[in-house]
Structure 1
Amino acid sequence: MSVDHVSIREVGPRDGLQSEDPIPTADKIRLIDALSATCLSRIEAVSFVHPKAIPQMADADEVWASVRRDPEVRYSALAPNVRGVRRAVDAGFEEIEVVVSASDTHNRKNINRSTDESLEDVAELVELAHGNGASIEVIVATSFGCPYEGDIAPSRVAWVVDRAIADGADRVAFGDTTGMGTPRRVRELLDAVKPNYPDVPMLLHFHNTRGTALANVLTALDYGVTEFDASVGGLGGCPYAPGASGNLATEELVHMLHDMGIATGVDLDALIEVARMAEGFVGRELPSGVLRAGPRTKLTPIT
Structure 2
Amino acid sequence: MVVPEPGLPAAVTIYEVGARDGLQNEKALVPVEVKEEFVRRLLAAGLPIVEATSFVHPRWVPQLADAAELMTRLGPDGVDLPVLVPNERGLDRALELGLRHVAIFGSATETFARKNLNRSFDEQFAMFEPTVDRARAAGLDVRAYVSMCFGDPWEGAVPIEQVVAAGTRLLDLGASQLSLGDTIGVGTAGHVTALVAAFAAAGVGADRLALHFHDTYGQALSNVQAGLRAGVTTYDASAGGLGGCPYAESATGNLATEDLVWLLTGLGVEHGVDLASLVATSTWMAGHLGRESPSAVVRALGGA
- Structure 2-normalised TM-score? 0.93
Q: 1:174 to 1:16 in 2, by over 3 A?
A: same
2:154 to 148, 155, 168: 148
2:258 to 232, 251, 254: 251
Measure, in 1, the Cα distance between the counterparts of 2:29 and 2:173.
36
Q: Does 1:167 align with 2:177?
A: no
Q: Secondary structure at the match of 2:222?
A: helix
Give the match for residue 9 of structure 2: 3
Larger deviation, residues 36-45 vs 82-91? 82-91
1:191 to 194, 197, 200: 197
Q: What is the CA distance between 1:286 and its match in structure 2? A: 1.7
Q: How many residues align?
A: 296
Measure, in 1, the Cα distance between the counterparts of 2:222 and 2:8.
16
Q: Secondary structure at the match of 2:221?
A: helix
Give the match for residue 182 of structure 1: 188
8 Å contact kept, 2:206–2:230: no
* Letter of the structure 1 residue corresponding to residue 169 of structure 2: R
Unaligned residue ranges in structure 2 (runs of 5+): 1-6
Give the match for residue 202 of structure 1: 209
Give the match for residue 164 of structure 2: 158
8 Å contact kept, 2:136–2:174: no
Q: What is the CA distance between 1:63 and its match in structure 2? A: 0.7
Measure, in 1, the Cα distance between the counterparts of 2:35 and 2:104.
22
Give the match for residue 50 of structure 1: 57
* Letter of the structure 2 residue corresponding to residue 95 of structure 1: H
Report matched runs for 1:74-85 at 5 Å: 74-85=80-91
Q: 1:203 to 1:132 in 2, by over 3 A?
A: same
Q: What is the CA distance between 1:123 and its match in structure 2? A: 2.4
Measure, in 1, the Cα distance between the counterparts of 2:178 and 2:241.
23
- CA RMSD for the aligned pairs? 1.8
Unaligned residue ranges in structure 1 (runs of 5+): none
Q: Secondary structure at the match of 1:67?
A: helix
* Letter of the structure 2 residue corresponding to residue 238 of structure 1: C
Report matched runs for 1:1-303 at 5 Å: 1-20=7-26, 21-67=28-74, 69-70=76-77, 74-195=80-201, 196-198=203-205, 201-294=208-301
Q: What is the CA distance between 1:18 and its match in structure 2? A: 0.3
Q: What is the CA distance between 1:69 and its match in structure 2? A: 4.9
Larger deviation, residues 75-84 vs 191-200? 191-200
Note the alpha carbon deviations across 1:1-55, whole angstroms, 9 max, x for none. 4311010011000000000021111111110111111011000001000000000
Note the alpha carbon deviations across 1:133-192, whole angstroms, 9 max, x for none. 101111110011101101111100111122222222222110111111111211121111
Q: Secondary structure at the match of 2:116?
A: helix
Q: Secondary structure at the match of 2:297?
A: helix
* Letter of the structure 2 residue corresponding to residue 269 of structure 1: A
Give the match for residue 3 of structure 2: none
* Letter of the structure 2 residue corresponding to residue 24 of structure 1: P
8 Å contact kept, 2:86–2:104: yes
Note the alpha carbon deviations across 1:210-233, whole angstroms, 9 max, x for none. 100000000000011000000000
Measure, in 1, the Cα distance between the counterparts of 2:69 and 2:136.
25
Measure, in 1, the Cα distance between the counterparts of 2:75 and 2:275.
21
8 Å contact kept, 2:196–2:206: no
Q: Secondary structure at the match of 2:52?
A: strand
Q: What is the CA distance between 1:198 and its match in structure 2? A: 2.3
Measure, in 1, the Cα distance between the counterparts of 2:142 and 2:170.
10
Note the alpha carbon deviations across 1:200-253, whole angstroms, 9 max, x for none. 621110001110000000000001100000000000001111131111000110
Measure, in 1, the Cα distance between the counterparts of 2:15 and 2:173.
24
More helix by share: 2
